[in-house]
Each structure stands twice: as structure tokens, then as C-alpha cells.
A and B are shown apart, each in its own frame.
Chain A
């Protein structure tokens, strides 16, 4: 049962008064409460939500929770099995695997979030404007998107990563180029989706009303239509976060991500292959970390879709 915010009740009696601070707070509270109620109703969304909370907590707590330097080599402790001192054992340079996974995850999640946000910043205005204006501008814009979508699999990333390698980009710039590559490759999908939703919204009455009131086209497209397209975009972005993490891991698995000493799940997994027969656990833990993270985003995205689009929840 959805509660009605108090100022709405009062608005029925008195003319629309400006809400006071406490009313605003109350309204936020009600919204949050309703959102949590919805979240609790969907088992998948709630499970994903809990997993994500734990993930974010682990990322934030990493500097305090880890007891070892993730990069420093310790040849006295090479390839140790899990023990009291090293909960997940050590890798072939004697580095604590738990520390490497935590630090690697912090980096990976940050890059993935930045890449998805960047892709949406590029793709959403692109799609909304092209859908709203229509005509030949729309045709040209969509053909460009089709062309970019024709790059199969991870090849577009490989192309951009190759360029970054050729320019010998290092350190933070390397991460930024990765963010750019992933975000840019996400752009066509977002553009298509937001264009599709815009085409549906464009014909609705509120747009016509805004037009009658003399709002400019740009204002209508970005301030009236865009907020109404947001829910499919959020679902898409959540699922995409999981996918982006898979891609980053695959790239660094191929040795095209970050350079070796930096903790990285994909690169660690690739390094663990050399002594997999004798020490399989070194290859198991980074893989499990990737699975956990991607599953968290997928569960949450799946559940979110059911909540935001109740017609699908019946399935």
C-alpha cells in the first residue's frame, strides 16, 4: 500500500503551498520507505541489493581490512595454501590473494561504474535528441549507431586498447583510456534504447502541453522527456555494469588491461594458469570474485526490471 505524502493531503484543502523543510524530509522518507517496500517484494532484487551493499562495503573498507600490501613480493611465502595468516593463501610472488582481490575489486568496480556513466552521458542525449527531432538527423544518427554496433564481440575495445598501447599510455591515463573505450562502446546501445523510449513519449499529451506553453524543443527533449525515459535506462545500466566487469576482466586476462603489478582479477587469473595443476585455488578465487560481482549486478538489474515494469513481473 503506497502512503500519501502529507503535503499532498494538505494540498487538497489549501492552495498549493510551498513545502516546508520538515515536509520535504518527510516526503523523502516516504519515498525511501516505499522504495524499500518495493525492493523487499522482489526476491531477486533484494538478494542482488544485499550482495551489492556488501560489495560496496568491501570496496570502501579495503584500505582498513587488508593486512598485506597487494603489490609487495614476499618470496618466503610463495604459493601457500589458505591459512590463519593468509585466508585465501598466497600467489607465486608470495602476495596475499585476499588483499589482491579486495584492491583489485575496488579498482574494477570504479572503472566499470565510470565507464557506464560515461557511456550514458554520451548515449542518452544522443538518443533522446535524435528520437525527438526525427527526420534526416535521426536517420544519420542511427546509421552511425548501426555502424558502431557492427563491431562484433570485444573487437571495438581491442581496437581502442591497441591504440592506447601504441601511444604507450601509462598509469591513470591507461585506466582513463579503458573507461573511454568501454563507455564509447556502450554508447550505441544506450542511444538506441533512449531513442526508442523517446519515440513513444514524444506523442504523449504532456509533451504537447509543454509545446503549447512555448517551451523550446531542446528544453522539452532534455527536461521533460528524458526524466520519463529513465527507468529502462537504469535497468539497462545495471545489467551493463555486470557485463562491463566481464569485459574488463577478459581484456586484462588477455594481457591488454593494466600492467602486471597492479592487482587485477583478470590478470591474476591469467597468471594463475601457469601453476594451476599444483595450486588450483589461486585460479579459483579471482574467478569467484568476478562471478559474485557480476551476479550481484545481474540479480539487482533483473529484479529492478520486474519492479519498474510490473507487466513483466507476471512471468
Chain B
């Protein structure tokens, strides 16, 4: 297990390398000079003296791999440069958005698992019953509905017509818990419903898989009650793929909430990146994507290791 962990961590190096190269190369693929891009129409850049000084400052007189190395060293230290719009350090701008995004993604994920796992389990136990067909149709529809449309329709119904919930906004859960939950309900539902649809399908099929295995027959023949067989033995094993996929999806959600954060004016990292794209704030785009990518890689690693802990049989192969 320790060797495997070390091995897995070593595998991160090339992955992070590709990620950083793409993000680093991105600014160089933009039209025009890097100085023009980074100074964003500031005065003085036409003066050759200033240009020389800036080129030296950004290290543009060096070969590109040296530039990459220098940039990487800075990035590792958390120095992503300054936002072109607000002139504040990018790391400060990014850190401000992370808690809101994590809060939204985690609640959305929890919500979807809480709905999907019981639904998928019941659908598998009562196979080919109306409940099963209902669950299958709902989940197929669920993965076909675009989340932003679902979000808009929810806003239309619950905010504009019924007036039960605020249509957009954010309140910190630490400062104003009640208000915070009111703001959270619609975005979290919109984030979670798509994943709920996936998870229902996944839980149903892995339950059916497990129920056909021999140990279930053995347990039944030993006279265990049906409830014990299903909930104590089968469900536990069927949960392994569901939880693994949910973990991987959580990583994806962190980056996938861009659209929903925009709709609900949620002050998260996704909306930050979106606004940076609209305003052409390149250092912020670069840093945002790099940070989210790194988080995804790390979550994937943790999920992979947890999977081995939950399912020791994998290690034998």
C-alpha cells in the first residue's frame, strides 16, 4: 500500500507537468507581445527603454524553457502575478472564491447522493416495477436536461412565481446561516440534480451486479433475513463504485459550476474565471485553471487511494 501510494504520487509529476505547460503556453499563444498583454494598454510601453526593463523583469530575454522554469518556481511559491484589472495579487483574488465554490459543490454532491442512493437501491430491488421504470426514466431525463436551463426554470418557478426563494446571491454560512441556506437551495439543487441522475443509474446497475453474485445466495441459504442480506452485505459492496465516481465527480463539479455560479451570482472561483475571460484578465485565467486542475488531480489521487482502502480485493490483482 505504501509503495503503491508513493508510486501514485510519482505519477502526479508528469500530469502536473502537462497541466503547467498548457497553462504556461496559453499566454504565449495569445496575439501580440506578452508585455502588451500583461500591461493591458498601460502607458509607456512604447518607450524602448521601458520595454527593455519590462522584458528583463518578466525574463522575456531568456529562452522559453528558462522562462517556464522561472514561472514555475514562482507559481509553486504561490506567486501568480497581479490581476490586470484590479492590480491585486491573483492569489488573493482566487482564495476569496474557493470557499464559496467548495461549499456549493459539497452540498450539491451530498444532496445528490442522499437522493440517488436510496432511489437506485429501491429500483434495483424492485426491478421492473413501476418504481424502477420511474427511476430509470427520471434519471435518463436528468442527464439530458442542461443544468443551466434547469436552473432558470427553478428560478422562474420558485423565485419569480412563488417568491419562496431568492433568485440569486450569496451569504456566508458562518455569518448568517438562515439566509445562507435560503440562497443555497436553488444553486445546490441545480448542481446536484444532474449528478443525482448519474448516481441513480450507477447505484441501480451495481446493485443488480452484486445481487447476482454467489455470496448473496450463500447469505440467503444461511437463513439471514432479506433486509440483512440487502442492506448489510449487498449494498455495502454496491456502494464502492458509486462512492468512487462521486469522488471523481466532485472534482469535476468544482470546475463545472462556472455556468451555475454565473446564473446565481455565486462569488466562487468559477465565476471569477468567467469574469476574467470576459475582461481578458489573463494572469487570473491562468492561475484559476491551474489551481482548479491541481485540486482535481489531488482529489483523484485521494479517491484512488480510498478506493483501495474500501476494496482491498483490487490490491491483489
Residues of chain A at the chain B interface (Cβ within 8 Å) = 140, 143-144, 146-148, 150-155, 158-159, 161-163, 165-168, 242, 246, 249-250, 253-256, 266, 269, 273, 276-277, 280, 283-284, 286-287, 290-291, 294-295, 298-299, 302, 314-315
Q: Which of B285-317 contact A (CB under 8 A)?
A: 285, 289, 292-297, 300
Instruction: Pick 24 A–B contacts, CB within 8 A, sort by A.
Output: A147-B16, A148-B22, A150-B296, A153-B255, A154-B259, A155-B258, A155-B273, A155-B289, A158-B277, A159-B23, A159-B26, A250-B148, A254-B258, A255-B278, A269-B149, A273-B152, A277-B160, A280-B156, A286-B149, A287-B152, A291-B146, A294-B144, A295-B140, A315-B205
Output the least CB separation between B164 and chain A (Å).
15
Q: A154-B255, A154-B258 are in contact. List 6 more A-B contacts (CB 8 A).
A: A152-B295, A159-B285, A287-B153, A291-B145, A294-B145, A295-B144
Closest A residue to B21 using CB positions: A147
Output the least CB separation between A123 and chain B (Å).
16
**Most B-side CB within 10 Å, residue of A153, A168, A246:** A153
CB pair B153–A152 under 8 Å, yes or no, is no
Output the least CB separation between B25 and chain A (Å).
10
Known contacts: A250-B148, A253-B148. The answer to whether A147 contacts B256 by CB under 8 A is: no
CB-contact partner of B285 in A162, A280, A290, under 8 A = A162
CB pair B149–A152 under 8 Å, yes or no, is no
CB pair B253–A276 under 8 Å, yes or no, is no
Closest B residue to A253 using CB positions: B148
Closest B residue to A277 using CB positions: B160
**Most B-side CB within 10 Å, residue of A155, A161, A295, A298:** A155
- Chain B, residues 142-178, CB within 8 Å of chain A (1/0): the string is 0111111100110110001000000000000000000
CB pair B254–A153 under 8 Å, yes or no, is yes
In whole angstroms, how far apart are the Cα atoms of A276 and B296 in the complex?
36
Residues of B near A298 (CB, < 8 A) are 140, 143-144
CB pair A146–B15 under 8 Å, yes or no, is yes
Does B6 sit at the interface, judged by CB under 8 A?
no
CB pair B144–A158 under 8 Å, yes or no, is no
CB pair A163–B30 under 8 Å, yes or no, is yes
10 shortest interchain CB distances as A-B pairs: A147-B18, A152-B255, A153-B256, A153-B255, A287-B149, A143-B14, A295-B144, A294-B144, A152-B296, A146-B15
In whole angstroms, how far apart are the Cα atoms of A315 and B120 in the complex?
13
**Interface residues of A: mostly helix, strand, loop or mixed?**
helix
Residues of B near A159 (CB, < 8 A) are 22-23, 26, 285, 289
CB pair A146–B143 under 8 Å, yes or no, is no
Residues of chain B at the chain A interface (Cβ within 8 Å) = 11, 14-19, 22-23, 26, 29-31, 140-141, 143-149, 152-153, 155-156, 160, 204-205, 208-209, 251-259, 262, 270, 273-274, 277-278, 280, 285, 289, 292-297, 300
CB pair A246–B208 under 8 Å, yes or no, is no
In whole angstroms, how far apart are the Cα atoms of A266 and B146 in the complex?
10
CB pair A254–B274 under 8 Å, yes or no, is yes
In whole angstroms, how far apart are the Cα atoms of A147 and B20 in the complex?
9
Closest A residue to B292 using CB positions: A152
Output the least CB separation between A79 and chain B (Å).
16
In whole angstroms, how far apart are the Cα atoms of A294 and B143 in the complex?
8
Output the least CB separation between A304 and chain B (Å).
14
In whole angstroms, how far apart are the Cα atoms of A102 and B18 in the complex?
41
Residues of B near A161 (CB, < 8 A) are 277
Residues of B near A166 (CB, < 8 A) are 30-31, 280
CB pair B15–A299 under 8 Å, yes or no, is no
CB-contact partner of B277 in A148, A162, A269, A299, under 8 A = A162
CB pair B26–A153 under 8 Å, yes or no, is no
Known contacts: A148-B18, A158-B277, A167-B31. The answer to whether A287 contacts B146 by CB under 8 A is: yes
Output the least CB separation between A243 and chain B (Å).
9
CB pair B258–A150 under 8 Å, yes or no, is no
CB pair A163–B26 under 8 Å, yes or no, is yes
Residues of A near B31 (CB, < 8 A) are 166-168
In whole angstroms, how far apart are the Cα atoms of A249 and B259 in the complex?
11
CB pair A250–B146 under 8 Å, yes or no, is yes
CB pair A151–B29 under 8 Å, yes or no, is no
CB pair A158–B252 under 8 Å, yes or no, is no
Residues of B near A266 (CB, < 8 A) are 148
Residues of A near B155 (CB, < 8 A) are 276
In whole angstroms, how far apart are the Cα atoms of A315 and B136 in the complex?
12
CB pair A299–B149 under 8 Å, yes or no, is no
In whole angstroms, how far apart are the Cα atoms of A253 and B146 in the complex?
11
In whole angstroms, how far apart are the Cα atoms of A253 and B258 in the complex?
11
Residues of B near A254 (CB, < 8 A) are 258-259, 262, 274
CB pair B251–A152 under 8 Å, yes or no, is yes
Residues of B near A165 (CB, < 8 A) are 277
Residues of B near A168 (CB, < 8 A) are 31
Closest B residue to A139 using CB positions: B14
In whole angstroms, how far apart are the Cα atoms of A26 and B262 in the complex?
57
CB pair B259–A152 under 8 Å, yes or no, is no
In whole angstroms, how far apart are the Cα atoms of A115 and B124 in the complex?
36
Output the least CB separation between A280 and chain B (Å).
6
In whole angstroms, how far apart are the Cα atoms of A273 and B262 in the complex?
13
CB pair B254–A283 under 8 Å, yes or no, is no
